[in-house]
Amino acid sequence: MLHHPASMRFRQPSGAGQLLLRLKSRHPEPHLCQVIYEDGGLQTAPMYICARSRHYLYYQAEIELTRPWECRYFFRCQVAGREPEYLFAGGNGRLGRPFLYRWTEADIVTVPEWIYDAVSYQIFPDRFYNGNPANDPPGAETWGSAPTRNNFFGGDLEGIQAKIPYLQFLGVNALWLNPIFAAPSNHRYNTSDYLAVDPALGDTDTLRRLVASLHAAGMHIILDGVFNHTGTDFFAFQDVLARGAASPYKDWYYFAGFPVVSEPRPNYACWWDIPSLPKLKASNPEVRDYLLHVAAYWLREAGTDGWRLDVPNEIEPPFWQEFSRQVRETNPQAYIVGEIWRDARFWLQNRYFDGVMNYLFRDLVLDFFARRRFPVSTLDILLGQLRLRYPEAANFAMLNLLGSHDTARVITAFQEGLAGVPGHSGSYAEAVTHLRPALILQFTYPGAPLIYYGDEVGLTGGPDPDCRRTMPWDPPSWDQNLLAFYRRLIALRQRLLPLRRGYFEPLFTDDQAGVYAYARRRAGERVIVIINTSDQPQTVTLAAGQPAITDGSFWEDGLSNRHFEVREGRLSLPLEANAGAVLYRI
């Protein structure tokens, strides 16, 4: 049985004459599926599997039309040795009315062009590098001391600028900075002044110089926008503290009465009941206009490239419509990414954001590679269902993270996960061994891989504040093998266009062997990724039925530099335990 519902999941325009079409098939075995469409006569486009479920296969085709804004089409599918099946708008059969889809500019989902090619790096400014000790906060501690929720180490914007050569050495090309605006804490999520860089980090000119240097190096930079709440030092809150009900800012927050009190319980709404984080009333037009001014100000005045938005689900959605409009009018290529920990369909289908922090991806990676909670076939199904939730363009704009300032370090998370699996110790060495195939997936998957500073050199740490340790700048202390692996994966991603812009095509899974194979395809070019997730070596065979596997073709594995020839319709690939290959045709 074939299905093609009239929904965003099954048809998405990506341009005036570009259309993505999907088909769902009940048959468990792969079909030869095609979409037949009208464009100066009948044209045929192949369809490729894009996702699986327990009972269905999902096929996808991307077609280009000389006639924009509408398309008539139907589907043809066939299993070898059987009669073909057809799907028309009137149902299954050989004859029927073709599907007709019309679209407008408003239906096209686009994201900033540069995010397709981004490898992102998150920096917690106080902990990255101290480039100017003269602006250190009072009592700044010695670099490398244990982090607490309250201490400072002196990292600053000049420190980031000084380490641009390191970032280039690593290969990243997009930075996300945790908040840099004036605030009394080391994390700066309690803003005192949205229009001033914190003096402990530098000033507006320092930021401008940093942005200019990053742009000159081919990098982009996004800032952290904390618009749900302020700190108690913010001018509006301070005015209400002083004048109570007579303050013109009394409706900027959610006060239950006056005078304002914070003990024993605050009489105002605050984030997670933390008195130092009073919640802004973004529905107030004055508050909205102020925050929209901030949103445009840094894009314009410093030349930054977008915003990462803190807890956006706690602000009324109409505000984000205005925010998105303001940002895109200021810089059409600005990137907007929301901190959404769960299902993000509402935010992405309605185009409030380009992408979100892909914590659901992180959850699946940890559950499979570290906690061993399900087989590799289930991983493939769950990843596919996650991709199907969102517009395809948004999948390429996700920040695919394995750790952040709000989670345990990825190596520590792997240690903790493996410690609960029989037969595993949870040692550092074991965690890194099992992390390697997870990194292959992260860097060959649709979306922008995100590295939390220091993960690439083996930095460990539990949840906040332990995950916010200072970046070690003594290379002998680094895990050089892990760093080299990150660099190779980043270089492969930057070198191979399908890894950045290609559609995802699952090939096969083998639960017994622990092998996962998929391709990234773009304009007839494919990169094939094979991951051995088991603790035993495996030999994987790709047969002629797999994409682009033809006799006499030669392939190179970008991870090992090994070369392979397809002989008698087969390519045999030996893989070590917890390893993989990234194959491209040569």
Known catalytic residues? Answer: 310, 339
C-beta of residue 136 within 8 angstroms of C-beta of residue 152: yes
Residue among 281, 276, 438 at smallest CA distance from 367: 438
Question: Residue 112, preceding bond cis, omega within 30 degrees?
Answer: no
Helix (H, G, I), strand (E, B) or coil at 267: coil
C-beta of residue 362 within 8 angstroms of C-beta of residue 402: yes
Could you tell me where the beta strands, DSSP code E, fall in 158-230?
174-177, 181-182, 193-197, 220-225
* Residue 369 C-alpha from the chain's centroid: 18
Q: Which residues pair with 45 in a beta bridge?
A: 35
The two tokens of residue 4 are 């093609």
* Residue 269 C-alpha from the chain's centroid: 31
**Burial label, 349 (beta-carbon count in 10 A; 0-12, 13-18, 19+):** middle
The Cβ-side half-sphere exposure at 262, using a 13 Å CA radius, reads: 13
Residue where the block lists tokens 């959610």: 254
The amino acid at 506: P
CA 61, CA 34: separation in Å to the nearest integer? 8
C-beta of residue 210 within 8 angstroms of C-beta of residue 201: no
Assign residue 202 a region (left: φ > 0; alpha: ψ between -120 and 50; beta: otherwise): left
Phi/psi for 68 (5° steps) reads -80, 165
Pairing mode, strands 174-177 and 120-123 = parallel
Pairing mode, strands 335-338 and 570-575 = unpaired
C-beta of residue 57 within 8 angstroms of C-beta of residue 25: yes
C-beta of residue 145 within 8 angstroms of C-beta of residue 172: no
The two tokens of residue 355 are 């992408």
* Residue 366 C-alpha from the chain's centroid: 15
The two tokens of residue 391 are 């517009």
For the residues of 2-64, what is the DSSP string, one character each? EE--SSTTTEEEEETTEEEEEEEE--SSPPEEEEEEESSSEEEEE-EEEEE-SS-EEEEEEEE
